Amino acid sequence: MRKLEFCLLAVPAALTLAGCATLRTHQAGVGEPDDLALDSEGAKRAEALANYAQGQIHEVHNRSEDALRHYERALELDPTRTRLAIGMAMHYLRIGNTEKATELLETAHASDPKSYELTRALATLYANADRHEEAVRTYKQAIRYRRRDSEPYIELARYYMKQRDERMALRTLDRGLRRVRDPIELYRALADIRMRKVVQSESEQQETDYTEVIAVYERMVQESPDDDSINYQLGELYLLNGQIPEAIAAFRKVSDEKPGYFFLRAVTRHATGRRKKIIDLLEKAAPLLDKDPLVALALGELSEDGGDTQKAIRHFERARQIAPKQMAAYVRLALLYAKDKPDKAAEVLSKAVQELPDDPQPRIYLGYIKSFAKDYPGAIAEFEKAAALLSGKDELLVGLGPMFYFWYGAACEREKQIERAEKLFEKCIALDPEQDEAYNYLAYMWAERAVKLDQALDYVRKALAIQPENGAYIDTLGWIYYQRKEYEKAREQLLKAHQLMKNDPTIADHLGDVLLELEGPSQALFFWEKSLALDPKNERVADKIAKHKAAGHQAEEPTDLGPPPIIEMLDAQEQEPAPDEPAGTGPQFEELEQPDGGLLPEQPDEGDPGEPFLPPDSPLPGKPILEENTEPDRREE
């Protein structure tokens, strides 16, 4: 079917290529039919057109010989058609017959020696065939026909460069620059040649000097002062040459509002992997970009990555002072304070709330911080205010993604607002049906209360379909079986969970409860004691141990705990559990996600400087501060 469509399209395409035949129209008398006729020249052109179209049809069906026969007949009938001759030559080149292609173009060119298209095509063919004298002569002939256009000068210069004749290439471009109407493309070709010398000097370990390339681009800016791509490239060259003020001035021409973004883009593009070099360049630029927060933010990130927290705080504070209405610096500061000084983190975000009272983002992040600090009533209050600010708006576009509802629901569950928590978790799932954390949280919440166990079983299976080796999810499944009094199934799943998370106190506690039903107090005591050792403040587990020991029972290690552990969750990097937090559970903080490729995206396309990864007036990434795959401890009593 596609071949048929091509065939149908071949005729109008051939009409365009071959040109229009001459039609003679006799004036029709009243009541007489129109009399349309072709003169002899028109008839030949029409027949040439028909042969050309038939040749295209054969070519579609891979019948090269038949296609060639019709093409040759078309050219024989109408040898003046320039495009037809060039198309025929291209066909010969495709089938590897360079000699025939050359002969055809030479014949056509002899018939129409002043055709620019034929002259240029013949010059290119000579160049590819390494026929140097003919190539140069024919390219120069093409230049005579188009003295005011850049194209023939550039093609001859490229040919000279292919022949490693830089002197003649530069002379050709210089001649063109004195003649053509629009010299920008000639300047680009000249800059390419200059840049080759720079690259060569780098490979020869000589000192890199971009002065000659910069001179070309400065002339280009004079010709086209409002061309963003030229100004950006000139800024990059100044930067590479160590001319920081000049680079920033060039980037200001691209965007007077965001010069820091383009400076950062150029720095990270040309100094990737060289931390000291990047820091040095940014510190030199910072005084010249004192009204743009992005350089300060970048320096803060680099200081934080290097372990200098105090210096990072100073840079983020500077960014906040420069742009108090932008969220990025507030969040970075809050992240730095959150692990050790959650109150200070909350103070920073409270300032953001004051500066941006109608923006939900500060309240959302403040809610996350308060959840981390276990101030659940405070977290709920912030989440409520954020939701109220967005009433009637597109939630996903303004920040209320699935994880917002997950943490909002978790805070409500901690405050025993169970029905409200259920609705929020269901909202999270509705926004993201692959949200395994929400499935598991709801399932465990119901299992703890021994309600909706069938739905809980369905939800935890959905979570496990997404993360089949998640020990916490397997524990939830085991606990649902326990509440359904299916103790053998419960033991099987809880042993799997224990193998995956040997140092989780909740799993050890659950395993003890199941073994109490199946094996008696002694084996149960073994796991309860392990749970208490991991979480010494768990009074409920301590009471169970005391009760059964008072009855004369002693802990006894089970002899059959199934196959060896699949995954050891405790490794050399794992820290001791906090006194009030069971190991392996509880919310943790992570850095804000950065785009691929570092601080900035790749160089913009020509004429399109692009957008920064974090525009000053945009909301922060929707991903919460808290780790998405680390739940609040949904098993805390």
- pLDDT, residue 486, reads 96
pLDDT above 90 covers a percentage of the chain that reads 38
- Per-residue pLDDT of 506-529, as tens digits, reads 999 999 999 999 999 999 999 999
Reported pTM = 0.60
Q: How confident is the model at residue 394 (pLDDT cuts 50, 70, 90)?
A: low
Residue 36: pLDDT over 60? no
- pLDDT, residue 562, reads 54
Residue 397: pLDDT over 70? no
Mean pLDDT of the chain: 78
Of the candidates 504, 458, 502, the one whose C-alpha atom is nearest the C-alpha of residue 480 is: 458
For Cα atoms 461, 380, 589, give the angle at the middle one, nearest 5 degrees.
Answer: 65
Burial level of 412, CB count in 10 A (0-12/13-18/19+)?
Answer: buried
CA distance 387 to 73: 76
Question: What would the two tokens of residue 285 be?
Answer: 């630029």
User: Could you tell me what percentage of the chain is helix, strand and coil, using 3-state DSSP and rounding each to the nearest 5?
Assistant: 65, 0, 30
For 416, which DSSP code? T
Instruction: Enumerate domains of the chain plus CATH numbers.
Output: 2-17+38-203 (1.25.40.10)
Q: Are 478 and 493 in contact (CB under 8 A)?
A: yes
Q: Are 395 and 425 in contact (CB under 8 A)?
A: no
Residue 23: pLDDT over 60? no
- Considering only residues 181 and 614, tell me which one the structure prediction assigns the higher pLDDT: 181
- pLDDT, residue 69, reads 76
Contacts of residue 306, Cβ cutoff 8 Å, sequence gap at least 6? 275
Mean pLDDT of 387-415: 80
Q: What are phi and psi of 281, to 5 degrees?
A: -65, -40
Reported as type and span, the H/E element at residue 23 is: strand 23-26
Lowest mean pLDDT among 206-210, 212-216, 549-553: 206-210
CA distance 299 to 278: 9
- The 10 Å CB-count burial string (b at 16+, else e) for 567-587 is eeeeeeeeeebeeeebbbbbb
